[in-house]
């Protein structure tokens, strides 16, 4: 294939634009924040499970404390009634029975109040554990929201850049002959498509070409489309090629 040297040189701009378009597409579809966001989703799910368990344990202690408070109140009411009955009792046997019941209720109230104090301590610990876990969850959520916002902004910027680069590419390739562009496109599926030959080195694969290959390129017509024997991309020759 033959093509004017100026058209071949344009392929370097096309290759650079294609490289930048690929980078923009990767930034659009795979933002750098993605892995951490995925990690945070898993962390947040585990933290939610732990918070649910801690909240359940706290609620159980709350229910226990409510029951104990109710029991203490009932015992106090019963003691008060027995004390009133004892004060009005005229029968010694009845008075003795009331005194015995009041003693039993007093011990019962003491036991309940001890249990109530223990439950209050456990509730305080449970509420502290829930608060600490909620703080962890809030921190994870905040980081996830911040990274998500950054990712959205980066994706939007990459999308805009990709669209601009696509427009630039269309403008640059407008002057490239169709057959040369088709040949470049075919080769670009497997390599850089086109690269500069600099001092005997292919800038596409960074391989120094053997002398025999350089001699063949040196002898090729200026309009001939030559390629790298290593990577297969179109080699663009300039005064920097060392030929």
- Total Cβ atoms within 10 A of residue 230: 16
pLDDT, tens only, 147-158: 999 999 999 999
Closest CA to 63 of 121, 133, 119, 125: 119
The residues near 68 (Cβ < 8 Å, ≥ 6 apart) are: 112, 115, 116, 119
Q: What is the mean predicted confidence (pLDDT) over 78-101?
A: 86
Q: What's the CATH code, domain 27-173?
A: 1.10.287.1490
pLDDT at 194: 96
- Total Cβ atoms within 10 A of residue 33: 20
Q: What is the mean predicted confidence (pLDDT) over 117-133?
A: 97
Q: Is 237 exposed, middle or buried (0-12, 13-18, 19+ CB in 10 A)?
A: buried
Q: What percent of the chain has pLDDT over 90?
A: 86
Question: Is the sign of the CA dihedral 17, 19, 23, 29 positive or negative?
Answer: positive
Q: Over 80: is that where the pLDDT of 111 sits?
A: yes
Q: What tokens were used for 208?
A: 């120094």
pLDDT at 191: 87
Q: What is the mean predicted confidence (pLDDT) over 204-232?
A: 92
* Helix (H) or strand (E) segment spanning residue 234: strand 234-236
Q: What is the mean pLDDT of the chain?
A: 94
Q: What tokens were used for 237?
A: 């020759």
pLDDT at 137: 98
pLDDT at 148: 97
Q: What tokens were used for 5?
A: 């040297």
pLDDT, tens only, 171-180: 999 999 999 9
Would you list the domain boundaries of the chain?
A: 5-20+175-236, 27-173
Contact by Cβ (8 Å): 204, 195: yes
Rounded CA-CA distance 53/137 in Å is 14
List the beta bridge partners of residue 226. 235
Percent of the chain that is helix, strand, coil (3-state, to 5): 75, 5, 20
Q: What is the mean predicted confidence (pLDDT) over 117-136?
A: 97
Q: What tokens were used for 74?
A: 């009932």
Q: Over 80: is that where the pLDDT of 242 sits?
A: no
DSSP code at position 3: -
Q: What tokens were used for 45?
A: 């799910």
Using pLDDT thresholds of 50, 70 and 90, give the confidence band for residue 97: confident
pLDDT at 135: 98
- Total Cβ atoms within 10 A of residue 181: 19
What does the DSSP assignment read for 14-31? Answer: HHHHHHHHHHHHHHHHS-
pLDDT, tens only, 28-67: 999 999 999 999 999 999 999 999 999 999 999 999 999 9
Rounded CA-CA distance 180/226 in Å is 12
Using pLDDT thresholds of 50, 70 and 90, give the confidence band for residue 86: confident
């Amino acid at each position: 294939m033959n093509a004017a040297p100026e058209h071949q040189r344009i392929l370097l701009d096309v290759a650079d634009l294609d490289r930048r378009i690929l980078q923009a597409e990767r930034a659009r579809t795979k933002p750098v924040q993605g892995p951490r966001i995925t990690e945070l989703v898993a962390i947040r799910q585990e933290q939610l499970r732990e918070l649910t368990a801690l909240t359940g344990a706290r609620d159980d202690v709350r229910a226990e404390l409510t029951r104990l408070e109710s029991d203490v109140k009932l015992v106090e009411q019963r003691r008060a009634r027995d004390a009133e009955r004892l004060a009005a009792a005229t029968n010694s046997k009845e008075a003795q029975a009331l005194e015995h019941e009041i003693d039993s209720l007093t011990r019962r109230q003491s036991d309940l109040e001890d249990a109530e104090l223990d439950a209050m301590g456990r509730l305080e610990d449970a509420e502290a554990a829930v608060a600490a876990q909620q703080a962890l969850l809030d921190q994870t959520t905040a980081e996830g929201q911040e990274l998500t916002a950054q990712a959205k902004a980066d994706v939007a910027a990459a999308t805009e850049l990709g669209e601009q680069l696509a427009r630039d590419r269309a403008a640059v390739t407008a002057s490239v002959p169709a057959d040369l562009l088709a040949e470049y496109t075919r080769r670009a599926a497997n390599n850089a498509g086109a690269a500069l030959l600099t001092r005997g080195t292919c800038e596409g694969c960074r391989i120094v070409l053997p002398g025999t290959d350089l001699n063949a390129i040196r002898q090729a017509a200026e309009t001939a489309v030559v390629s790298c024997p290593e990577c297969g991309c179109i080699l663009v020759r300039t005064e920097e090629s060392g030929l």
